[in-house]
Amino acid sequence: MGGRFSVLEGNRMDAKSTLLKERLESLLKQAAAVASQLQGIEQGSGTPHYDEIELPAHELGQRLSRMIQSDRATEIAIAEKTQTACPDCSRPCRVEVQHRTANSMDGPIEIAESIAKCRHSQAVFFSLSVLR
């Protein structure tokens, strides 16, 4: 990030980032406590096999991962500029937001992504090229 932000902006972002990290930590603790209570209710009074603890916990982790990926990718797509230069011919192309299902390592996610089609060179390119 060197040189991208002023010292003042940097400090403000650090403060915001610290607050958000604390909030996330607190929310994750709450989520873990609620998920654990839910497991307790669903499993009843007997001693569960460890798989019965681990598998739903892992599934919930993957669900959280999909939610983060979907939110973040959509956020980036919406913030994209409405015009961009074609990588082939450098002419300006209109950027549109398109919705689709993408495969993540934690399962399918619904995302919005920005896509541009060049009318001149027929090139189709994604502004957010990290998506599969």
Contact residues: Zn ion, CB under 5 A? 86, 88-89, 118, 120-121, 123
Distances (CA, A) of 53 to 7, 28, 67, 92, 94: 46, 17, 22, 54, 49
Residue 81 beta carbon to Zn ion: minimum distance, rounded to whole angstroms: 16
Residue 13 beta carbon to Zn ion: minimum distance, rounded to whole angstroms: 36
Residue 78 beta carbon to Zn ion: minimum distance, rounded to whole angstroms: 24
Specify the residue, 36 or 90, whose C-beta has the smaller distance to Zn ion. 90
Specify the residue, 39 or 125, whose C-beta has the smaller distance to Zn ion. 125
Computed on alpha carbons and rounded to an integer, the radius of gyration of the chain in Å comes to 21
111 burial (CB, 10 Å; 0-12 / 13-18 / 19+) is buried
Specify the residue, 12 or 120, whose C-beta has the smaller distance to Zn ion. 120
Specify the residue, 23 or 119, whose C-beta has the smaller distance to Zn ion. 119
Spacing of C-alpha 96 from chain mean position = 19
> What's the CA angle centered on 68, arms 9 and 106, to 5 degrees?
140
Residue 125 beta carbon to Zn ion: minimum distance, rounded to whole angstroms: 9
